[in-house]
Amino acid sequence: MFKKILIANRGEIACRVITTAKKMGIATVAVYSEADKDARFVLLADEAVCIGAPPSRESYLVADKIIAAAKQTGAEAIHPGYGFLSENAAFAKRVEEEGIVFIGPKHYSMAAMGDKIESKKLAGAAGVNCIPGVNSAIESADEAVKIAQGIGYPVMIKASAGGGGKGLRVAFNDKEAFEGFSSCKNEARSAFGDDRVFVEKYVQEPRHIEIQLIGDSFGNVVYLNERECSIQRRHQKVIEEAPSPFISEATRKAMGEQAVALAKAVKYQSAGTVEFVVGKDQDFYFLEMNTRLQVEHPVTECITGLDLVELMIRVAAGEKLPLTQADVKRNGWAMECRINAEDPFRNFLPSTGRLVRFAPPPQTMAQADTSRWLGVRVDTGVQDGGEIPMYYDSMIAKLIVHGVDRNDAIAKMREALNGFVIRGISSSIPFQAALLAHPKFVSGQFNTGFIAEHYAHGFKAEDVPHEDPHFMLALAAFVRRKSRERAAGLSGQLPGYGVNVGSDYVVITLGAEGSNAYTEVHVDEFTGETGTARVRMGASSYEIKSDSRLNDIVITGTCNGQPFTAQVERGTPKNPLALRVQHNGTRLDVMVVSPRMAQLHQLMPFKAPPDMSRYVLSPMPGLLVDVAVQVGQKVQAGERVAVIEAMKMENVLFAAADGVVGKVLATKGESLTVDQPIVEFA
pLDDT digits (tens, 9 = 90+) for 218-257: 999 999 999 999 999 988 999 999 999 999 999 999 999 9
Largest CA distance in the chain: 92
Regarding whether 145 and 171 lie in a shared domain, the answer is: yes
Q: Is the peptide bond before 605 cis (omega within 30 degrees of 0)?
A: no
Q: Which helix (H) or strand (E) holds 123?
A: helix 116-125
Q: Count how many domains the chain has.
A: 6
495 is a domain residue = no
Regarding whether 482 and 579 lie in a shared domain, the answer is: yes
432 is a domain residue = yes
* Domain end (from 201, 232, 260): 201
Lowest mean pLDDT among 112-126, 257-271, 281-295: 112-126
Using the 8-state DSSP alphabet, how is residue 31 labeled? E
Regarding whether 241 and 110 lie in a shared domain, the answer is: yes
Regarding whether 565 and 675 lie in a shared domain, the answer is: no
DSSP bridge pairs for 134: 199
DSSP bridge pairs for 222: 214
CATH (domain of 56): 3.40.50.20
Regarding whether 186 and 214 lie in a shared domain, the answer is: no
Distance CA 513, CA 608 (A): 7
For residue 340, the model assigns a pLDDT of: 96
Residue 597 CB-density burial (10 A; 0-12 exposed, 13-18 middle, 19+ buried): middle
CATH (domain of 518): 3.30.700.30
- Residues 6 or more apart whose Cβ sits within 8 Å of residue 61: 84, 85
Distance CA 81, CA 350 (A): 23
Structural domain that includes position 67: 4-103
Regarding whether 237 and 123 lie in a shared domain, the answer is: yes
Q: Which of 241, 208, 118 is nearest to 448 (CA)?
A: 208
566 in Cβ contact with 555 (< 8 Å)? yes
262 is a domain residue = yes
Q: What is the mean pLDDT of residues 20-45?
A: 97
520 is catalytic: no
**Per annotation, catalytic residue among 288, 301, 336, 415:** 288
Phi and psi, residue 436, nearest 5°: -65, -25
Confidence of residue 168 (pLDDT cuts 50, 70, 90): confident
Distance CA 109, CA 113 (A): 6
598 is a domain residue = yes
Q: What is the mean pLDDT of residues 641-669?
A: 89
Identity of the residue numbered 345: F
606: how many CB neighbours lie within 10 A of its CB? 8
Regarding whether 110 and 96 lie in a shared domain, the answer is: no
46 in Cβ contact with 28 (< 8 Å)? yes
Distance CA 467, CA 667 (A): 47
pTM of the model: 0.86
Residue 124 CB-density burial (10 A; 0-12 exposed, 13-18 middle, 19+ buried): middle
Regarding whether 181 and 80 lie in a shared domain, the answer is: no
3-state helix, strand, coil in the chain (%, to 5): 30, 30, 40
For residue 155, the model assigns a pLDDT of: 92
For residue 235, the model assigns a pLDDT of: 86
Q: Which of 169, 229, 207, 168 is nearest to 285 (CA)?
A: 207
Regarding whether 174 and 124 lie in a shared domain, the answer is: no
Distance CA 114, CA 105 (A): 12
For residue 163, the model assigns a pLDDT of: 63
Contacts 24+ apart (CB under 8 A), 545-554: 546/478, 550/479, 550/482, 550/483, 550/486, 553/357, 553/359, 553/421, 554/359, 554/361, 554/418, 554/419, 554/421
pLDDT digits (tens, 9 = 90+) for 144-164: 999 999 988 989 898 887 665
Q: Which residue has the higher pLDDT, 60 or 353?
A: 60
CATH (domain of 157): 3.30.1490.20
Torsion over CA: 231, 286, 159, 151 (sign): negative
pLDDT digits (tens, 9 = 90+) for 442-458: 999 999 999 999 998 88
Q: What is the mean pLDDT of residues 599-617?
A: 89
